[in-house]
Structure 1
Amino acid sequence: MASLLNLVHHPASTSLSHSLPSSSSCCFFPRNNINVFTPKSKNIKPSPLIVKSAETDESITIPIPSNPFDTIPNLKLNLLSAVSGLNRGLAANEEDLQKADAAAKELESAGGLVDLSEDLDKLQGRWKLIYSSAFSSRTLGGSRPGPPIGRLLPITLGQVYQRIDILSKDFDNIVDLQLGAPWPLPPVEVTATLAHKFELIGSSKIKIVFDKTTVKANGNFSQLPPLEIPRIPDALRPQTNNTGTGDFEITYLDADTRVTRGDRGELRVFVIS
């Protein structure tokens, strides 16, 4: 997962919009400005919350549990509410990190141990990153050492995805980036795909091995062919900086939500895309 963290960020403001049934009661989460509505009538299905970024136009859909006494859906709601206004962790402060970690631990405890030998098929698909605790570090390396970043650095982080194929053992980190260009040239939008292979270690841990990086231009430059950057051979890689492999533990997993803990303690939350 180390390669995923070597990214740049640009914090964005967020706003909230959602549609609601007419007959409902409300409780308020002041930190993230989220109204959670519970229908008074059992025949009314609550509408999901949609958290939308005003700057990047990114949105996160948060389903509202229909049964307030169903523990897992409510704990998932608590976790998604805790991270929803943090721009994937880029805008998180220490208090935000602690709240997200506490909400994740409650969900992990209620969900029990993950057994990928039985639930490996749940990994299949394209997952969208909605939170990483490492992004709050303000460095290019996330929780790892890296140069500091700020608004003057002409790179903006867009969407981050993981694409997992359980048959081919492909594990791709897909990152949208906007690269600044000298005036009057417009910014260049690219998608970087960091290809890995994965294997299971025990019941809930995954090891990934980096293969190559492919960069594809978007927008006005989409006609350009992809640029492939191969992995540095092991013989040429410094022994103290082997970034070709990494491992993380999946601590919660269901059909639409995944929580992981990285090899350096990074908490990450994904939703199926």
Structure 2
Amino acid sequence: MAASATVSSLLRAPPALVSDHRSPPSSCFIRCSVSSPSPVLISFPRSSSRSDFTVPERRKLAATSPLVEYSIRDPTPPESGDDAEPIEPIESLKLKLLSVVAGLNRGLVASLDDLQKAETAAKALEAAGGPVDLTGDLDKLQGKWRLLYSSAFSSRSLGGSRPGLPTGRLIPVTLGQVFQRIDVVSKDFDNIAEVEIGAPWPFPPVEVTATLAHKFELLGTCKIKITFEKTTLKTTGNLSQLPPFEIPRLPDSFRPPSNPGTGDFEVTFVDGNMRITRGDRGELRVFVIA
């Protein structure tokens, strides 16, 4: 409810109603306090001359004017259209999306209700941001991005085409932080994952940073195609002194149809610190600049 405002104005009787300048009628000094939300338009005839009353007479009018009180609400903010709802700022929509995905462990613990809330918040932000066109502004992708949320993680399917080695299917892996490092000059596109690989008791798990190196190209205005090249594994923690080792891409003749080594996604929102993408099966991913 808008706060009420007090408006004071000194209203003079129009000269057409004054029969004698020496005996002018009393004017009305109005303090308005109107509760109606609709704007109130009051029209008064204009004086034909500033010299209708002398200065002493004007002072006398002000001193003897009756005081009437009304309440007027602050005017409602203008709308973009006749029936349009106020447009919510993009920064506010970004905060809403962040609040929805916070605590979901990048989507690994998301329920069906969480998935729907994240989808709704992302669509609102995508609509407010408008269509993405990277043809003349590819620099928006530059940098290292941290994955906050993926709708594919909740189904454990990982969704879409995910080029690289399917190590998670062969040995137990606990996923840590996930990043994307993009270089728009060299067209390098690296998926970086911090993982913990299980080991037989009594040995401790092995902490590894896996870098899946790709090259990328822009298709159309916002579609990105990535082609897998190699995987580099670097141990961390107690085994950080070990050198990294590479696992090259399999030749196409040995590559299974389910792992073609390429994938694509669309960038549906991007600004200086947040990026939203949709995979080739519709999976939603939310990144922030690292």
Identity of aligned residues (%): 68
Which whole-Å CA distance do the structure 2 matches of 1:184 and 1:250 have between them?
A: 45
Specify the structure having the higher radius of gyration (Cα): 2
> Offset at 1:201?
0.2
Larger mean Cα displacement after TM superposition, 156-165 or 184-193? 184-193
2:95 aligned counterpart, secondary structure: helix
2:264 maps to amino acid: D
Query: Matches of 1:230 and 1:190 in 2, distance apart?
Result: 17
- Aligned-residue offset at 1:154: 3.8
| Paired residues for 1:3-152 under 5 Å | 71-138=89-156, 141-143=157-159
Does residue 221 (structure 1) correspond to residue 239 (structure 2)? The answer is yes
Unaligned runs of 5+ in 2: 1-85
CA deviations 1:174-199 (Å, max 9, x no partner) are 00001122222211100000000000
- The structure-2 alpha-carbon separation of the partners of 1:232 and 1:154, relative to structure 1 and needing over 3 Å to count, comes to closer
Partner of 2:42: none
- Distance in 1, matches of 2:135 and 2:174, equals 38
1:211 to 229, 245, 265: 229
Structure 1, residues 60-111: CA drift from partner, whole Å, max 9, x if none?
Answer: xxxxxxxx98610011011111111211000011111111001000000000
State which of 164, 168, 178 in structure 1 corresponds to 2:186: 168
Q: Residues 130 and 224 from structure 1, CA distance in 2 versus in 1: closer, same or farther, beyond 3 angstroms?
A: same
In 1, Cα distance between the equivalents of 2:160 and 2:214?
20
Provide the rounded CA distance (Å) in 1 between the counterparts of 2:174 and 2:225: 28
Are 2:203 and 1:194 equivalent residues in the alignment? no
Q: Alpha-carbon deviations, 1:176-228, whole Å to 9, x = none? A: 00112222221110000000000000000100000000000001111111110
The answer (yes or no) to whether the contact 2:226–2:262 under 8 Å persists in 1 is yes
Conserved 8 A contact 2:160-2:279: no
Q: Cα 1:69–1:113, aligned 2, differ >3 Å: closer, same or farther?
A: closer
Structure with greater strand share of residues: 1
Pairwise CA distance, 1:242 = 3.6
1:258 aligns with 2:275: yes
- Structure 1 residues not aligned, in runs of 5+: 1-67
Q: Which residue of 2 aligns with 1:272?
A: 289
Q: After the TM superposition, which of the residue ranges 242-251 and 123-132 deviates more from structure 2?
A: 242-251
Q: Distance in 1 between matches of 2:155 and 2:87?
A: 37
Amino acid at match of 1:251: T
Label 1:74 to 1:145 Cα distance change in 2 as closer, same or farther (>3 A). closer
Are the aligned partners of 2:161 and 2:262 in contact in 1 as well (CA < 8 Å)? no
Hey, what's the Cα distance between the residues in 2 that align with 1:118 and 1:70? Answer: 27
Q: TM-score, normalised by structure 1?
A: 0.69
RMSD: 2.3
Q: Distance in 1 between matches of 2:223 and 2:289?
A: 19
Counterpart position of 2:263: 246
Q: Secondary structure at the match of 2:241?
A: coil
Amino acid paired to 2:199:
A
Matches of 2:193 and 2:260 in 1, distance apart? 18
Q: TM-score under structure 2 normalisation?
A: 0.65
Q: In 1, distance between residues paired with 2:133 and 2:173?
A: 39
SS at match of 1:167: coil
Query: Which structure ranks higher in relative contact order (CA pairs < 8 Å, sequence separation ≥ 6)?
Result: 1
Aligned equivalents of 1:90, 1:243: Cα separation in 2: 26
State the SS of the aligned residue for 2:137. Answer: helix
2 CA distance for matches of 1:154 and 1:205?
A: 33
